[in-house]
Amino acid sequence: MTAIDPDDHTVDELTERLQTIDDEDELQAILEAERAGRDRQTAREAVHRRLEGIGAADDDSDGVEEGTETEGEYEETKEDVGDEAEADAEEAEAVDDEDEAAETVDEAEADEDEAKEADDEPAEDDDLSHPTRDKKHIRGLADGDYADLWVFCETQGGELLEVSKEMLGKGRELMDQFEADYGDEERVVAFLMGDDCQGLAEECIAYGADIAVYHEDERLERFLHKPYTEISAHMARGEGTVESTDWRDYDKPRYVLFPATNNGRDLSAKVQAELDSGLASDCSDLFIEANEISNPVKTGEPGVKKTVEKVLHMKRPDFSGFEYSTILCLDNPDRDFHPQGCSVIPGSFDPIERDPDREGLVVEHDMDLEDDWFRVEITEYDRLEAGIDLTGHDVIVCLGRGIADDPTGGMELGLDLVDAFDDAELGITRGIVTSSYQFEGHVEQYSKEERQIGETGQVVAPDVYIAAGVSGAVQHKVGMDESDTIVAINTDTDARIRDFSDYFVEGDLFEVLPRLTEAVEAGETALEPEAVADGGDD
């Protein structure tokens, strides 16, 4: 029995009571009691801190472990938090169980200054009066009005980028569904800037936008971080002349999409920061639906579940392609985070058919640009030599990690087979691009990203696709699934690629490829025997 039953106390009370206990066993007993009872993350942490405070070896760190990380990247703070913590905003770690915590909480037994003083005031300060460094960045809007889905339409050489059209198509689909689900007609708003872009604004309407807001200035011919950020934020907040803003009556957009290109991703990061909101990067799937949250930071009340309507669910591959995360950008109780935004991987969505007769409103945005915003100057630019185009060939030979035993030899065998066809090219999987395989000089050029097939590489649809030593990750499938005939060569009959192949040749590529090359060259319909032959021209 412990002197204190933690279930009888709020975390604050418990924290205070713990300060009077110097006995390690006693503290461990309280920890056990908490686990058996309400099992509040914040309460457990309070006990751990006290254990640290008395210098006890706290070997069970409650899933808080050294080396886990979070810095600036998404943490796997799973939403279905089961914490019954008392409102202690400074403690709330949204984790649902210890295993998850191991993957979430990044600060290990951190600083030596144990027994952290709580804030003087349990923070509920909307007036942002603290003289702390962060306040200058907080725009601090709460209970604002939000509507519409905005799309930043990136341009190049006087044309809309393909991904801009793709985002408009997806935006159109999302907002048509939004209207069906909620009965509210909200719009797709394209926004763009450049030296001559009124025509492109009209083009955005043809590709699905209801409104297109554009800003023209010769200094904006090419992307520049500062002016593009300032103009985008100004547009989004509805600042500007009455004529250019009377089509809207809300504080900020509800949603916003940017292209996940070098410039689009940069812009998304800066604009969303400027608008005091968050975003997910490099998304490949989006949908809008209600979400039940229990994360106390977002609900404001630990142990309470709350349903948030109209949440943009942003799905993205991360952890070097090993996982898909769904990211949500949700308001805090006293601070709104809108627009909910993300950047979108080019090629993820289809544009809608261009319709030059679609009706929409084109609005010229009005704003003075400060000279100081143009401190970074582009002095010259060139088009890069186009990389390797893997599309449009009869045959693609794709190599995967199956070449690991002899990367250079495997690459040579793949190239030999490519040469046996009239019109073929060599592709590789992401696994090879990101591997640390050592290729000898003469084949190293084939190991570069420009030959990658898959979601983040090229999408091909040849008549014959030969996948040698390819395991068949779903991202790879996206890049080759439209091929007419898919032939896999693999020793592992459980490899995923079997589920999307027409033929699965059970064998080692190092042994099969040279024989296959020979047979194709000779016009044979059987492989020459390797060790044991059984003819087989059937």
Site for other proteins, residues 226 to 245, rule: CB under 8 A:
226, 229
Q: Which is nearer to other proteins, 92 or 205 (CB)?
A: 92
Nearer to other proteins, 421 or 439 (CB): 421
Q: How many CA atoms lie within 13 A of 96 on its CB side?
A: 10
d(CA 501, CA 489): 10
Helix (H, G, I), strand (E, B) or coil at 104: helix
> Which of 179, 323, 355, 405: binder of other proteins (CB under 8 A)?
323
Query: Smallest distance, Å, CB 503 to other proteins?
Result: 5
The number of C-alpha atoms within 13 Å of 145 and in the hemisphere containing its C-beta is 6
Q: CA 303 to CA 299: how far, in whole Å? A: 9
CB 236 within 8 A of CB 275: yes
Residue 515 binds other proteins (CB under 8 A): yes
Closer to other proteins by CB, 243 or 419: give it: 419
Cα–Cα distances (Å) from 366 to 150, 225, 234, 245, 507, in that order, read 18, 19, 9, 9, 66
**Smallest distance, other proteins to C-beta of residue 74, A:** 5
Strand 155-156 versus strand 159-160 pairing type? antiparallel
Which 519-538 positions form the footprint of other proteins (CB under 8 A)? 519-521, 523-527, 529-530, 532-538
Distance, in Å, from the CA atom of 509 to the CA atom of 490, rounded to the nearest integer, reads 7
Q: How far apart are CA 219 and CA 227, in angstroms?
A: 9
Nearer to other proteins, 201 or 280 (CB): 280
Least separation in angstroms between CB 362 and other proteins: 23
Smallest separation (angstroms) from other proteins to the CB of 366:
24
Residues 112-151 that bind other proteins (CB under 8 A): 113, 116, 119, 123, 125, 130-135, 137-138
Pairing state between β 464-468 and 485-490? parallel
Binding map of other proteins across residues 277-306, x = CB under 8 A, - = no contact = xxxxxx--------x-x-x-xx--------
List beta partners, residue 280.
Answer: 342
Q: Tell me which of 169, 171, 317, 360 binds other proteins, using CB under 8 A.
A: 317
Joined tokens for residue 376: 């970074």
The total of other beta-carbon atoms located within 10 Å of residue 410's CB is: 25
Q: How far is the CB of 461 from other proteins (least distance, A)?
A: 14
Nearer to other proteins, 63 or 360 (CB): 63
Q: Quickly count: other Cβ atoms within 10 Å of residue 460's Cβ.
A: 22
Cβ neighbours of residue 491 under 8 Å, at least 6 residues apart?
402, 506, 507, 508
* Options 141-149, 203-211, 353-361, 416-424: segment touching other proteins (CB under 8 A): 416-424
Residue 53 near residue 20 (C-beta atoms within 8 A): no
Q: Which is nearer to other proteins, 411 or 467 (CB)?
A: 467
Between 174 and 497, whose beta carbon lies closer to other proteins? 497
- Nearer CB in complex with other proteins: 196/274: 274
Query: In angstroms, what is the minimal distance from the CB of 466 to other proteins?
Result: 8
Which of the residues 48 through 77 are near other proteins (CB under 8 A)?
Answer: 65-77
Q: Assess 84 for contact with other proteins (CB under 8 A).
A: no
In this chain, which stretch among 33-41, 192-200, 357-365, 515-523 interacts with other proteins, using CB under 8 A? 515-523
- Closer of 25 and 111 to other proteins (Cβ): 111
Closest CA to 50 of 95, 11, 89, 77: 11
The single-letter DSSP state of residue 287 is E
State which of residues 159, 406, 440, 482 lies at the interface with other proteins (CB under 8 A).
159
